Structure 1
Amino acid sequence: MSGHRRDDRRVRLGAGAATAVLIGLAGCSMQPISGAPLVSGGLQPMSSQDMVRAKAMQAQLAPFATQPTTWNNRITLHPDRDAFPTLMKLLDGAKKSIYLETFELHADTSARQLADKLIEKHKAGLEVRVIIDRIGEKGNNANLYKRLIDHGIPTVVYGPFPYWRAGEKGFNITHRKLYLVDGDRGMTGGMNLGDDYFVRDHDMLWLVEGEAAHAMHREFATDWRLGKGTAAINLPPAPIGTYGSEPIGMAVTSPREPGREQEIFKVLLRAIDSAKTRIDIAYPFFWDDTLID
C-alpha cells in the first residue's frame, strides 16, 4: 500500500443533551491504564431546557449525516478493564443474533474466549456473522479467524478495496469496532479484541441500547454487502418500548458510498462550529490540520 492513502471505515456516535459528538470512538488508543470512572447517560428524562439544546445541536448536524438522530436510547461508557466483562455479558445474553465487525481478532486469551462464545451461540442456533479486515486477519490472527470458519460461522474478510477520490487512489479497509446483539443492543469504541486492549491499554467501549443500536445493525448489514458477504442478514425489527432519553446521532465515513466519503469529518467540523460555550475532545492522536485550524 506504499504511496497510497488508506481510508478506514469508522463509526462515531454523537450523544449528549447540550454538546455535540462523542469522538474518538473508533481509534486505537495505546495509553497505559490509569483508572477511569463509569459514565452513563439517558437514565433520567431530559429537562425541557436540555431537550431544546439537544434538538438545536442535532438540527445543526443532521444535514451532514446520513442516519437520522434517534431519541430513545441509553448509552453507558465502559473504560479499560470494565469493557471486556461487559462485552462478554452482552454476547452471553444474546437470544437471536450476534454481528461482529472489527479490524482484528488477536490470537490470545481474551479473543479466544470471545471466539468460543461466538461458536457456542452459533451452535445454539443464533445468527452469528463476523467481518474482519484483510490486514487484521494476517499472521497468527489467521488461526483464530479460521477456527470460526471451521465451525461454520459465516464470515467476511473485508478489503482492501481500491477506490478513486479527487484523482487520488486509496484503499478502503474496515477499522470499525461493532459488537451487536439482537437488533437493539451493541458496543462500539476504540478497542480491538485482544489482551492488550482489555488489560493493558487505556481505551473504551460504549454500550448503546435502543434505536441507535438498531441503526448500528443496519450499518453492519451495509458493510456485509459491500464486503461481499453471501449469507443472509436477517435484521430484527426496530426496537419497541422505552430504552432511555439520550439523543444519539451517528456519523459513518465510507469511501465507497457516494456522499459518505467524509461524513465523520464534516459532522465534527459542524459540531465545533456550532459550539457556544465549550468543546471537549478526546483523541489518541491529534494531527489533522483542518480540525486544528
Structure 2
Amino acid sequence: MKFVLILSGLVLLIIIWLVIDFRLGRRKHLLAAGNTETAILHGNFEIFTHGKELFHNYFTDIYQAERHIHVLFYIVKDDAVSQEFFSILKEKAREGVEVRVLLDRIGSWKITKATVAVLREAGIQFAFSNRIKLPFLYYSSQVRNHRKISIIDGEIGYLGGFNIGKEYIDEDPKLSPWRDYHLKITGESVNFLQSEFLIDWNEYSGEDLQDYPDYFPELPKGAVRHQYIPTEAGQLEENFIRLIRKAEQSIIIGSPYFIPSTKIFAELLESRRRGVSITVMVPFTADHLLVQEASFRYLRRLLEAGALVYQYKNGFYHAKTIVIDDKICDIGTANFDKRSLFLNKEINCLLYDPAFIERLKAVITNDILDSEPLTLAVLNKPNLLRSVKERIAAALSYFL
C-alpha cells in the first residue's frame, strides 16, 4: 500500500511538472515570437508532386551552385538518399561554396555526432535547431522547426512538404508512392526566404549574416503575385481563419492530418452555413499512431454538414494546401493540425495568380480521382476499437 501511495505521488508530481513546464514555456514562446508576413511579391513558380522529379531538379540546382547553399529541413533520414544529399553538399563545400545546413534536432534524430563531424570536416557549417533545453524541457521537446526551405546562390528557393529520405522517392513500400506539393521559386521573393533562413540560422548557430549583401542579390520580379507567412506559437490559427472567412464559393483543404482548432472548425461550419462548399482530402493510410482517429470526429461533423471528404489511396498523401474559391491558394509546410497551429515553426506561401491556382486545382482533381469518398456510413459503423482510439486521440490531439 505504501509503495502504491509513493508511486501515485510521483506520478502526480510528474504531471504537475509537465503542466507547469508546458504553460510557462508556451508563455515565454508567445512573448518572444515575432509576427511577420510579406507584402505582395512577384515571382515564378514550379510545383512538384513526386519526389524523384523534385530531387532530380533540386540536386541539379545544388550541383550548379557557385556561391552559397542554405538548407533547412525538419527530417533528414540516415539512408541512401540522405547520404547522396550530404555527398553533394560536401563536394560543393570542398569546391569553396558556402554550405549551411540547419536540421530540427528531433525530426532529424538519426543524424549522429559522427555524421555531423564528417560534414564539418568537409567544410559544411552545421547546426541543429530546436534542441531540448532547460528550463522548459517538456515544452522545448514539443516545439519543432517544421520548415523545409532551401536557397541556392540567393536566386533559387525551394519550399514545401518534402523532407530527405527514401520514403519521399517511393522507396518505402507502406507509404509509396509519396504524394506531396513542393515549390521551386525564382524572382524577388527568394530574398525573403533567405532572410527567414538566416534568422533561424542566427538563433541556433549564433552567426548573424543578415547584413551581408552577397546573400541578397538584386532579383527581377516574376509573374505570380504571392506572399509568405512564417508562423510559430499559435500565429497560424488566425491566418487560417482569415483565409476561411474570405471564401464565397468553395474551400479545398489537403492535409495528411486533419485536426483543426476549435476556432478554425467553427469557421468551417459557419462557411457551410453560408453555402460555401468544402472539400477535404486526407490519406487513406496513416503514417502516425492515432492521427487518423483524431480526425474522425471533425470529418464526421463536416460530412453531416454536407462537406465532401476524400481519402487518398494511391500511396501516402502528405501535401499541405488550402484553396479558397479561384482566388487564393496556400502551399507550405504547415499541416492542418494543432501541432502546426500552436507548436511548430512553419512557413506558408499564399499565391494569388489565377493561372497557378488553375494548375493546382488540376493537380488536386487528379488526386481526387486517386481517392475514395469517406462516408458517414463508414464512420458511424459500430467499431469498438476505433471508438476507443478516437477517445484517446481526442485527449492527445494537441500533440498529434
- One fold, TM greater than 0.5? yes
**Would the alpha carbon gap of residues 175 and 141 (structure 1) be closer, same or farther in structure 2, given more than 3 Å must change?**
farther
Q: How does 1:216-231 map to 2 (within 5 A)?
A: 216-230=193-207
1:247 pairs, out of 212, 225, 238, with 225
**Would the alpha carbon gap of residues 142 and 280 (structure 1) be closer, same or farther in structure 2, given more than 3 Å must change?**
farther
User: Deviation at 1:141?
Assistant: 5.2
User: Deviation at 1:131?
Assistant: 0.4
Matched, 1:174 2:151: no
Q: Read off the aligned partner of 2:201 and give its amino acid letter.
A: W
Q: Read off the aligned partner of 1:281 and give its amino acid letter.
A: I
Q: How does 1:274-285 map to 2 (within 5 A)?
A: 274-285=246-257
**Would the alpha carbon gap of residues 158 and 65 (structure 1) be closer, same or farther in structure 2, given more than 3 Å must change?**
closer
Q: Deviations over 1:165-206 (max 9, x none)?
A: 9xx955433121112111121111111101111223222321
Counterparts of 1:184 and 1:174, CA distance in 2: 23
Counterparts of 1:73 and 1:231, CA distance in 2: 27
User: Deviation at 1:270?
Assistant: 0.4
Q: Hey, what does 2:260 align to over in structure 1? A: 288
Q: How does 1:1-293 map to 2 (within 5 A)?
A: 3=18, 66-80=36-50, 81-139=52-110, 143-160=114-131, 169-171=139-141, 172-199=143-170, 200=176, 201-230=178-207, 232=209, 234=212, 236-242=215-221, 244-254=222-232, 261-290=233-262, 291-293=264-266
Q: CA RMSD in A?
A: 3.0
Structure 1: which 5+ runs fail to align? 8-63, 255-260
Counterparts of 1:271 and 1:238, CA distance in 2: 32
User: Deviation at 1:124?
Assistant: 1.5
Structure 2: which 5+ runs fail to align? 1-13, 27-33, 171-175, 267-400
Asked whether the equivalents of residues 156 and 229 of structure 1 are also in contact (C-alpha less than 8 Å), the reply is no
SS in 1 for 2:253: coil
**Would the alpha carbon gap of residues 79 and 215 (structure 1) be closer, same or farther in structure 2, given more than 3 Å must change?**
same
Counterparts of 1:161 and 1:141, CA distance in 2: 16
Counterparts of 2:209 and 2:94, CA distance in 1: 17
Comparing 144-153 with 77-86, greater Cα deviation is found at: 144-153
User: Deviation at 1:84?
Assistant: 1.1
Q: Deviations over 1:237-288 (max 9, x none)?
A: 343334x21112111123xxxxxx3332221210111122222211111111
Asked whether the equivalents of residues 70 and 100 of structure 2 are also in contact (C-alpha less than 8 Å), the reply is yes
Q: Read off the aligned partner of 1:292 and give its amino acid letter.
A: F
User: Deviation at 1:65?
Assistant: 6.1
User: Deviation at 1:164?
Assistant: 10
Bigger CA radius of gyration: 2
Count the aligned residue pairs: 228
Q: Read off the aligned partner of 2:239 and give its amino acid letter.
A: V
SS in 2 for 1:67: coil
Q: Which has the higher contact order (CA 8 A, sep 6+)?
A: 1
Aligned residues with identical type, % of pairs: 21
SS in 1 for 2:250: coil
